């Protein structure tokens, strides 16, 4: 009903708008005044977490993209090797998991059969399983050793938005918590990241306030046949998520690539006028990556691509090569997916509605897939 949508045309729009609150609610109560993290249903002892020698994330769809971001954060903050695997592949390839493996199962619904079967397999091998889930008491958290609930609230639209942002937050919290318990050399950095996390709700809000140009661009490009997404580092999973959203909602050919792979094949796809969305890492910090992606943008533009560039405020180096520039607030590289994903959600949603499709109920898809 219209009332349930709070005046929005679609649940997806409502859920996109709820993201600042979803992020804030997922952080709530988990960061103490001293910056120490406490995760309510962690249930794994510090001792057990210190014994972990490998993390394996299993998930499907959008949740898998959150897992890809988790890998960058967890390895950087904890120095514990982290793999990410599509849940549907995991148990069929004889993966190396055992008592010292922490398996993180990410699932909004907590009922996805592929993810559930992966976690059952992991437990049979003796692994400890931590669920990141948005649904209280769902099967996946019930069958896990520990749970970190995301507090996105009920998500109705089939395409995940606010649940994804909170999955990112949960992954950061797990990574930082592991770092805290294990006392890694990133101890000092952890304190400052914890402060940066608290700034994210207002940054997401800022992004939401500047989305009108993204909506009109989506309407303008509604006739495109193909859209490419490029990113590097944590911008790569963001590119994959942007492409998935467009496939799910606008039924359009869309692909996400690691920008460094462009020259190894995908650049052959570039045609005159083809929209290419590029997620640009911060020029501060990992500036080498920034410079490389700027030259990628120049390369695709020289081949006729229409470049839509998502870049941090104050990043002037990209401006000359951007046909359309979408600004996101400054934040540390690892946290950038929280702000950079939002324009891609808005873009896909608007594109789908411009093409006349049902944004909340895309064809052939289900909110929760309970078959393998
Ligand atoms: C379905 C949905 C996707 C979702 C995936 C994983 O395929 O259509 O939007 O990302 O399941 O769902 P989960 O509930 O496990 O996060």
Is-above-0.90 flag for pTM? yes
Instruction: Provide mean pLDDT across the span 60-72.
Output: 98
pLDDT of residue 354: 96
**Distant-in-sequence, close-in-space partners of 300: CB < 8 Å, separation ≥ 6:** 230, 262, 267, 270, 276, 278, 307
Considering 5, 54, 247, 367, which one is annotated as catalytic? 367
Give the closest residue (by CA) to ligand 1 atom 15: 107
pLDDT 10s digits, 20-53: 999 999 999 998 877 788 887 888 999 999 999 9
pLDDT 10s digits, 84-101: 999 999 999 999 999 999
Which residues form the pocket of ligand 1, taking CB atoms under 6 Å from any ligand atom? 60-63, 107-109, 112, 115, 158-160, 365-369
367 annotated active-site: yes
pLDDT of residue 190: 79
pLDDT 10s digits, 190-242: 788 988 999 999 999 999 999 999 999 999 999 999 999 999 999 999 999 99
The rounded Cα 311 to chain-centroid distance in angstroms is 17
Mutate to test the pocket of ligand 1, among 165, 369, 372 (most ligand atoms within 8 A of CB): 369
Mutate to test the pocket of ligand 1, among 64, 86, 104, 109 (most ligand atoms within 8 A of CB): 109
Q: Given the DSSP bridges, would you call strands 146-149 and 128-133 parallel, antiparallel or unpaired?
A: parallel
Question: Is the pLDDT reported for residue 125 higher than 70?
Answer: yes
pLDDT of residue 1: 64
Confidence of residue 251 (pLDDT cuts 50, 70, 90): very high
Do residues 140 and 156 lie in contact, with contact meaning Cβ atoms separated by under 8 Å? no
Structure ipTM: 0.95
């Amino acid at each position: 009903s219209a009332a349930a949508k709070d005046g929005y045309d679609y649940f997806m729009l409502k859920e996109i708008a709820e993201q600042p609150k979803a992020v804030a609610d997922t952080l709530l109560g988990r960061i103490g005044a001293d910056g120490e993290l406490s995760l309510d249903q962690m249930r794994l002892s510090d001792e057990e977490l210190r014994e972990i020698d490998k993390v394996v994330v299993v998930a499907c769809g959008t949740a898998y993209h959150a897992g890809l971001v988790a890998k960058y954060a967890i390895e950087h903050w904890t120095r514990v090797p982290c793999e990410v695997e599509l849940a549907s592949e995991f148990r069929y390839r004889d993966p190396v998991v055992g008592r010292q493996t922490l398996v993180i199962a990410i699932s909004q619904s907590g009922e996805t059969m592929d993810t559930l079967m992966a976690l059952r397999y992991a437990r049979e091998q003796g692994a400890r399983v931590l669920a990141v889930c948005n649904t209280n008491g769902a099967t996946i958290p019930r069958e896990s050793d520990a749970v970190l609930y995301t507090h996105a609230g009920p998500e109705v639209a089939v395409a995940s938005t606010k649940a994804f942002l909170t999955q990112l937050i949960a992954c950061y919290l797990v990574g930082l918590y592991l770092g805290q318990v294990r006392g890694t050399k990133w101890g000092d950095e952890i304190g400052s990241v914890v402060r940066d996390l608290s700034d994210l709700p207002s940054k997401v809000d800022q992004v939401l306030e500047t989305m009108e140009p993204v909506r009109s661009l989506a309407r303008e490009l509604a006739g495109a046949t193909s859209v490419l997404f490029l990113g590097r580092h944590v911008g790569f999973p963001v590119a994959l998520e942007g492409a998935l959203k467009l496939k799910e909602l606008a039924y359009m050919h869309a692909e996400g690539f690691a920008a460094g792979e462009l020259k190894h094949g995908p650049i052959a796809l570039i045609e005159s006028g083809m929209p290419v969305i590029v997620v640009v890492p911060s020029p501060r910090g990992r500036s080498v990556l920034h410079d490389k992606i700027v030259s990628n943008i120049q390369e695709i533009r020289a081949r006729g691509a229409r470049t839509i560039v998502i870049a941090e405020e104050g990043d002037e180096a990209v401006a000359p090569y951007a046909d359309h520039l979408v600004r996101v607030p400054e934040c540390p590289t690892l946290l950038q997916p929280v702000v950079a994903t939002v324009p891609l959600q808005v873009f896909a949603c608007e594109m789908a509605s411009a093409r006349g499709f049902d944004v909340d109920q895309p064809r052939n898809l289900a909110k929760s897939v309970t078959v393998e």
